[in-house]
């Protein structure tokens, strides 16, 4: 559901997809008419899959892949004054235990701060967390703090969870771990 949503919003946009793995957000953005999609992941084999997926979907001409640490690459893009219409943050879980929540909060704040710095005015931040111990309200607060530190204003336009292909169990709250913040930046 989140990937289809991005696909519907990508036409004519310059899109950066961090932690892109095999292109899960990159390919739908390109299929939706993005003029350029850059996928960043630390795993070379994952990027090979992303490139194959782009070729299979006939969008390889608009996709490029960067093997890099996403935190470092976001900093480099800011230093180079690169700007994007859409930045997707889809990292792996930053915490799997309650004890590591403070470190996860720092990590989420850091990547959101760096993403906000490279978004063009009117740009779209798509920020996900799959950490069960980061509840939706805390995640929104982290993004608000990152926006304040970046000197940016973010309007939350949507807050989504998993699609029907990712069901959760009512009796098991830990299965409702996926959160996706959609924000317009000025």
Angle between helices 70-79 and 101-118 (to 10 degrees): 30
Please tell me the distance from the alpha carbon of residue 158 to that of residue 56, in angstroms, as a whole number: 31
Residue 180 bears catalytic tag:
no
3-state secondary structure of 185: strand
Q: Would you state the structure tokens that stand for residue 57, as one six-digit string?
A: 């979907």
Residues 20, 63, 130, 180: which is the catalytic one?
130
Helix (H) or strand (E) holding 16: strand 14-18
Query: Minimal CA–CA distance to 98: which of 136, 135, 129, 71?
Result: 135
Please identify which residue in the block is written with the tokens 């292909």. Answer: 165
Please tell me the distance from the alpha carbon of residue 64 to that of residue 151, in angstroms, as a whole number: 30
Residues in the chain: 186
Catalytic residues: 130
């Amino acid at each position: 559901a989140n990937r289809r949503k991005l696909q519907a919003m990508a036409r004519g946009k310059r899109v950066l997809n961090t932690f892109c793995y095999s292109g899960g957000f990159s390919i739908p953005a390109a299929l939706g008419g993005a003029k350029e999609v850059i996928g960043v992941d630390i795993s070379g084999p994952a990027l090979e899959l992303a490139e194959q997926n782009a070729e299979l979907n006939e969008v390889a001409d608009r996709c490029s892949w960067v093997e890099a640490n996403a935190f470092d690459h976001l900093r480099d893009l800011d230093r180079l004054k690169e700007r994007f219409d859409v930045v997707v943050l889809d990292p792996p879980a930053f915490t799997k235990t309650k004890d590591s929540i403070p470190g996860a909060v720092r990590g989420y704040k850091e990547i959101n701060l760096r993403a906000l710095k490279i978004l063009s005015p009117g740009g779209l931040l798509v920020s996900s967390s799959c950490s069960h111990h980061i509840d939706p309200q805390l995640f929104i607060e982290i993004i608000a703090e990152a926006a304040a530190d970046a000197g940016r204003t973010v309007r939350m336009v949507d807050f989504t969870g998993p699609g029907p292909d990712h069901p959760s169990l009512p009796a098991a709250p830990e299965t409702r771990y996926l959160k996706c913040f959609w924000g317009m930046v000025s």
